[in-house]
Amino acid sequence: MKTFKILFSLVLLSTMAFAQQNGMPVNIISYNIRYNNPDDGINAWPNREQDVKALVKFHDADILCVQEALPEQFDALLKKTNFDVVGVGREDGKRKGEFSAVYFDKDRFVKKDGGTFWLSETPDVPSKGWDAALNRVCSWVRLYDRLNKKEFLVFNAHYDHRGVKARIESAKLIKQKIQQIAPTLPVVFTGDLNVTPETEAISTIKSFLSDAKEISQEPAYGPTGTFNDFNFNSDLKDKIDYIFVNKGFKVQKFAVLSDSKDKRYFSDHLPVFARLWF
C-alpha cells in the first residue's frame, strides 16, 4: 500500500507539472455509435442511447466525434448536454443520411469555421467516390479554446466499408484538405477508417500525422481492436478506429474504451479516447 501511495503521488505530481507547463488538456473521443437499425434487436439504438451518452459524460469528453449517426441520433447526442455540433447528413448535405459529426463543449470552445466535404472526386457536393458503396463525408471545425487561448482544427471521417480504392483515395483527399484548411494550426483527425494499420490508406495519413496511440506518453490502455460486432466475446484484434494528431499536440493518454453493461457493448465499435495537450 505504501509503495502504491508513493507511485500515485509521483504520477500526480508529474501530471500537475505537465499541466502547469502545457495548459489544460483536451479530452477527445471518436465513436462509431452504430446507426439506428431496428433489426439490431436488444442492441438497437433506443436500448443503447443512454449508455452511449453516459460513457461520453463519464470520460469527460470535451470533444466527441461520431460516425454513423442518423438524424435522430445526431439530435439525441445534443439533448441535455453542453455540446454544440458541426455536421451534415451525407446524402443531401442537410439532414438526410448518416452524419460524421463533431460535438464540442460550447462553453469552452468558440467555433471559428467549419464544414463538410465528400470523400469523392467531387468533394463539394453530395456524391459517392471511386468504388465506394455509399456516400462518405468528412466534417471539420476550427475552434478557439478559451482555456488555453489557442486555435485548432478537428476533422472527422468515415471511410467506405467496401471500396478499397475509395479508402486509399479518401486518405489522399483528406491529406490534401487538411493541408489546405489547416496549414499551420494544431490538427486532430479522427474516424472509423475501415482499415487496419498496415494498409496504404493509413500510411498516407501517417505521412503527415501521428497515430495518437503510438505517441502517447503513457502506455496505451485497453484492447488492441476496436470492432466488436456486438459480440461480447470478440477477440478485439481489428483496429479500424483512430485518432491522429499533428505536431501541434502532445498525447498524454490513449485508450480503447471497453465499457459495457450486462455483458453488452454500447455499439458494434469501441470508442477511442485521447488526452491531448498543446
Pairwise CA distance, residues 152 & 206, whole Å: 19
The answer to whether residues 189 and 249 touch, using CB atoms and an 8 Å cutoff, is no
Q: Reply yes or no on whether the pLDDT at 4 is more than 50.
A: no
Q: Reply yes or no on whether the pLDDT at 209 is more than 80.
A: yes
What are the sequence ranges of the domains in the chain?
A: 24-277
The answer to whether residues 65 and 273 touch, using CB atoms and an 8 Å cutoff, is no
C-alpha cell read off for 181: 484548411
Per-residue pLDDT band at 11 (split at 50, 70, 90): very low
C-alpha cell read off for 238: 481489428
Residue 8, pLDDT score: 47
Pairwise CA distance, residues 61 & 239, whole Å: 21
Q: What are phi and psi of 258, to 5 degrees?
A: -100, 35
Q: Express as a percent the part of the chain with pLDDT over 90.
A: 92
Per-residue pLDDT band at 2 (split at 50, 70, 90): low
The answer to whether residues 251 and 274 touch, using CB atoms and an 8 Å cutoff, is yes
Residue 1, pLDDT score: 55
Choose among 256, 253, 246, 258: nearest CA to 275. 253
As a whole number, mean pLDDT of residues 265-275 equals 98
Task: Please state which CATH class domain 24-277 belongs to.
Answer: alpha beta
Per-residue pLDDT band at 97 (split at 50, 70, 90): very high
As a whole number, mean pLDDT of residues 104-123 equals 98
pLDDT, mean over the chain? 94
Q: Reply yes or no on whether the pLDDT at 17 is more than 80.
A: no
C-alpha cell read off for 119: 470523400
Q: Give the other-Cβ count within 10 Å of 199's Cβ.
A: 16
pTM: 0.92
pLDDT, tens only, 164-185: 999 999 999 999 999 999 999 9
The DSSP secondary structure of 16-53, one letter per residue, reads: HHHHHHH---EEEEEEE-----GGGGGGSGGGTHHHHH
Choose among 200, 201, 187: nearest CA to 243. 187
